[in-house]
């Protein structure tokens, strides 16, 4: 990207803190001295402010049961170093993690990645692309690519020439779920959207996201 296409706002690292300060304008005003005394002399235990929720799995038995119920559909892997033909790249650039998958024309997985992007989704995506092209046989290339996620998908699209950017993440969820032989329902809404997958005689895997 050219320099005139990039904006680096001054003090951008402080935007969240500034927003918190602005949001406090309508709150009761207290002096710094009072604030300090409250912090130093508080007898309220931090633990008392924490609301505990049920863990996803209470024990190994619940975890194994979950795995059994969700093992009904699998994708096959192929050796990327021996592959020849069209291949398609999907990137989920999240705010904290980046996921990527490369598939062939028969939906076999040639490459996959899941990892923390350490606040640098673009840099990590570049490394992923380098690894893919280092693994593909000479002369082979990515036929088509799409990026989704809240980690700056349009920024990544513009920087790397990704074919499609700004794909709504929930729609990407739905399309992936619909790929498998299951019944899917998608719920569009003004403030939310979601999907459900019918599997093992029950509706499960419900996902909702705010727009």
Q: Give me the sheet containing 97-104, strands edge to edge.
A: 109-116, 97-104, 87-93, 144-148, 164-167
pTM for the whole structure: 0.61
According to the model, what pLDDT value does residue 31 have? 87
Report residues of the chain scoring pLDDT below 50.
189-211
According to the model, what pLDDT value does residue 160 have? 93
- Helix, strand or coil, per DSSP, at residue 210: strand
* Tens-digit pLDDT profile for residues 113-167: 999 998 889 999 999 999 999 999 999 999 999 999 887 778 899 999 999 987 7
Instruction: Give residues with Cβ within 8 angstroms of 185, minimum separation 6.
Output: 195, 196, 198, 203
Q: How many residues does the chain have?
A: 211
């Amino acid at each position: 990207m050219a320099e005139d296409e990039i904006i680096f706002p001054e003090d951008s690292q402080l935007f969240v803190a500034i927003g918190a300060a602005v949001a406090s304008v309508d709150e009761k005003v207290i002096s710094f001295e009072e604030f300090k005394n409250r912090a130093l002399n508080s007898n309220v235990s931090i633990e008392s402010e924490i609301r505990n929720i049920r863990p996803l799995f209470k024990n190994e038995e619940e975890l194994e049961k979950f795995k059994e119920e969700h093992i009904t559909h699998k994708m096959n892997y192929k050796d990327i170093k021996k592959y020849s033909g069209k291949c398609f790249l999907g990137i989920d650039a999240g705010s904290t993690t980046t996921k990527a998958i490369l598939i062939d024309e028969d939906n076999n997985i040639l490459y996959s990645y899941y990892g923390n992007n350490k606040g640098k989704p673009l840099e990590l995506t570049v490394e992923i692309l380098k690894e893919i092209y280092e693994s593909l046989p000479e002369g082979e290339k990515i036929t088509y690519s799409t990026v989704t996620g809240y980690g700056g998908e349009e920024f990544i699209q513009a920087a790397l020439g990704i074919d499609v950017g700004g794909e709504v993440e929930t729609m990407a969820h739905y399309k992936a779920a619909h790929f498998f032989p299951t019944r899917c329902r998608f719920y569009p809404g003004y403030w939310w959207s979601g999907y459900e997958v019918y599997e093992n005689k029950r509706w499960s895997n419900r996902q909702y996201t705010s727009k």
